[in-house]
Amino acid sequence: MSAQTPFLVFSGTNSRYLAEKICNSLGCPLGQMNIQHFADGEFAVSYEESIRGRDVFLVQSTFPNSDNLMELLLMIDAAKRASAHSVIAVIPYFGWARQDRKDKPRVSIGAKLIADMLSTAGIDRLITMDLHADQIQGFFNVPVDHLYASSIFLDYIKTSLPLDNLCIATPDVGGTKRASSYSKYLGLPMVICHKSRLRANEVAEMRIIGDVKGLDVLLIDDMVDTAGTITKAANLMLENGAKSVRAIASHAVMSDPASTRVDQSALTEMIFTDSIPYAKKCEKVKVLSVADMFAEAIRRVCSGESISSLYTI
């Protein structure tokens, strides 16, 4: 990389596909790094070029398994010890974010623990996208740039979906604020699915609050894990007279049997971003890239510009 470039971009193993797209958008090469694996599963990180005095951006989503998080922590530590001017963690998908509070006695708050680990390792800033809960930003004592995939999704909605007959929906009450933002911005009606759970990843009962008869429904969510909730909501919409049902979600966690459920559901289409790599075969899934958005955020952080204009809603 040119000596004039004040920043360097590096990537962990499983987020390299996205880091390469970000670097293409920035017009810079991806930094050289070596991650050595040992027979017992331990690994070591080393930078293969000087990073002294540079702003270092480390691209790594912390999706399962936990090796991705550990890799990032080692990358941060190595950068601090190599005298980087600043270390900025770029985490498109922030894992453990569902553990954001004590919802019953004697449980951990995983999101706070991860924030503490990243801070202790030595990050100077965090750039992330569509946190499961906005208050997680407050778990950090460093600046957090919280990006939203809405600008990418809204472009797709306006150009690809039947706006004249569209209805925004949320698969659970917790996503009401998110869905309401889309509804108000687009001037479209909104309905809510109310669900109750027997246990994690298992929906016991679901009902619709609102009328979807004759409408094209668009379900809005931040992530899809086993796809139990969103496919149940889609099927329920169709049973209640919806003309068609599509869904958008920022993060494609898609644990088994999610792809099968989406394929067999009433969903016409399922749209994700590439914050998490999705390699499974599912004809209904469409992936939109967030690389340009993250590249622009990195450029603005380096130049000291505001990033608020990147937010549509």
Tell me which residues are annotated as active site: 195
Residue 14 in 3-state DSSP? Answer: helix
- The Cα 250–Cα 274 span in angstroms is 8
Distance CA 287, CA 252 (A): 9
Distance CA 71, CA 296 (A): 25
DSSP string, 32-48: PEEEEE-TTS-EEEEES
Q: Does residue 48 contact residue 34 with C-beta atoms inside 8 Å?
A: yes
Task: Say how far apart CA 282 and CA 274 lie, in whole Å.
Answer: 15
Q: How far apart are CA 91 and CA 71, in angstroms?
A: 12
Q: Do residues 260 and 286 lie in contact, with contact meaning Cβ atoms separated by under 8 Å?
A: no
Q: Which residues contact 13 (CB under 8 A, 6 or more apart)?
A: 35, 68, 71
Question: Which token pair is 65?
Answer: 């398994």
**Secondary structure class of 56 (helix, strand, coil):** strand
CA atoms within 13 A on the CB side of 159: 6
Q: How many helices (H) and strands (E) does the chain have?
A: 8, 14
Q: How many CB atoms lie within 10 A of CB 270?
A: 28
Strands (E) across 116-165 are located at: 125-129, 144-147
d(CA 264, CA 25): 36
